[in-house]
Amino acid sequence: MNHAMTTTTFDLPGYRVMRNLGVVRGITVRSRSIFGTIGGALQTLAGGNISLFTELCEKTRAEAFDMMVAHAEQLGATAVVGVRYDATELMQGVTEMVCYGTAVVAQPA
């Protein structure tokens, strides 16, 4: 599925939703390594962007997004609307990242 066919809105300009296939999601659970935690702690001393944590968050979101798209493709979807992210700390240093939306079959209007 083309990533341009995913949106946080509930419609796709130029397309008509023909069928709703239901909720799709991608879930990943991540923890920081001891080296990442130490490196991140050292970066906080200098202030500003903590690049080690930024990279971890970006990789985690991308993985959850790709899993959601794969779930939609398995259902035969051509688009995902209403895409959202949610995160929950399961225990200290362990976070669940969820990306979810509604899988649809969309055709050009």
Residue 35: pLDDT band with limits 50, 70, 90: low
| Contact criterion met (CB below 8 Å) for 96 and 6 | no
Provide the total of helices (H) and of strands (E) in the chain, helices listed first: 2, 3
CA–CA distance, 75 with 22 (Å, rounded to integer): 9
Q: Where are the domains of the chain?
A: 3-108
| Contact criterion met (CB below 8 Å) for 79 and 104 | yes
Does position 46 have pLDDT exceeding 80, yes or no?
no
CATH class of 3-108: alpha beta
> Can you give the pLDDT at residue 87?
92
pTM above 0.75, yes or no: yes
| Contact criterion met (CB below 8 Å) for 79 and 5 | yes
> Can you give the pLDDT at residue 78?
98
